[in-house]
Amino acid sequence: MQFEDLIDTQPLWLNEEGLSNEIVLSSRIRLARNLEGYRFPTRAREKELEDVSELVKDAVTKSPYFANGLSFKTKHLSQLDIEFVRERHLLSTKKRIVDCVVGKGEIVSVLINEEDHIRIQCLASGLNIKAVYPVIFKIDEILSSNLTYAFRNDFGYLTSCPTNVGTGMRVSCLLHLPGLVLTKEINKLLDDVMSRGFSVRGLYGEGSEIEGNFFQLSNQITLGIDEEEIATKTEKEIRNVIDLERETRDKLMREAGERVEDKIWRSYGILKNARMLSQEEFVNLSSAVRLGIGIGLIDNTYLKLLNYLLLYTAPAHLQKMKGKIMDADTRDIERANYVREVLKRT
């Protein structure tokens, strides 16, 4: 697979067949690992980083999950391509020079020399932590048998940032919570969630804004607790949020059904007809339509299209598809055209 083929292949974790997919967009686990005897990427010299990269890539190729995959270095990418891989959640920062190895379908990937020497990531559609868990630890097993991890019996895995020390594991789900937002119950919920040791971020990870009622919920604690317990506790917390969101949607429809239906159908009408759409507006309108699908107002076949569009209407994706750099106004026009074209497929 070549880098330029990425744009033409939809990540498999974006298909809509996961559990509780009316609320959970995707599940993700990532492990942070570092090599014994090498400085963390923030402090290492270039030669050291190159050595790390060679070692890790050699180890990664031993895993069948990366057969027919793709490998690229961000320093060889244009600004547009860096933005493009960020939009695909393959990269979470613009800053570092990193290597990325991606398995077919983008279910698994390994980032080399980002914040840590190694970041292993595995994704699945919907609420599916149980499916992700064995995959990521199989990859970890292959890597650990070919590399010497920085590990202390008292601490566990050592990581560049102390918040990851221990298991180096973060379990997260991308949740769509319009009911809790519309009823203004979200802030109390987020406070509760955080007080129980979980953290909440926006659609594009750390530092990103809460857009379109999307929230990434993940474990905060990585130390003094084993991997299975992190996965179990995080999934329990997420199931609790899902239940609350479902109850809130029912309550909302009982108490303000007409207003909610009106908001949903207007959003649908605008998506199907607008000639200019900013990304922010697309995300917000599609959030309302997503709620409409969730409560059974709008046909379920739209969910797959909205998931696809959530990625492919992002600025770099739009520009890669059109094969040219476009200013914001032109992107808004092309975005609206593309949304209309895709929504006609139902």
Question: Which residues contact a second copy by CB under 8 A?
Answer: 258-259, 261-262, 265-266, 268-276, 329, 333, 336
Min dist CB 258 to a second copy, Å, is 6
Per the CB < 8 A criterion, the answer to whether 111 and 100 are in contact is yes
Contacts of residue 276, Cβ cutoff 8 Å, sequence gap at least 6: 329, 332, 333, 335, 336
Min dist CB 271 to a second copy, Å, is 8
State whether residue 217 is helix, strand or coil. strand
**Furthest-apart CA atoms within the chain: distance in Å:** 63
Min dist CB 320 to a second copy, Å, is 22
Give CA torsion, residues 124, 128, 130, 132, to 10 deg: 10
CB nearer to a second copy: pick between 220 and 278? 278
CB nearer to a second copy: pick between 19 and 276? 276
Min dist CB 295 to a second copy, Å, is 13
**Residue position matching structure tokens 């929504």:** 343
CB nearer to a second copy: pick between 231 and 336? 336
Give CA torsion, residues 77, 80, 85, 88, to 10 deg: -170
- Tokens representing 78 are 């244009």
Min dist CB 297 to a second copy, Å, is 10
Q: How far apart are the first and last CA of the chain?
A: 30
CB nearer to a second copy: pick between 84 and 268? 268
CB nearer to a second copy: pick between 45 and 275? 275
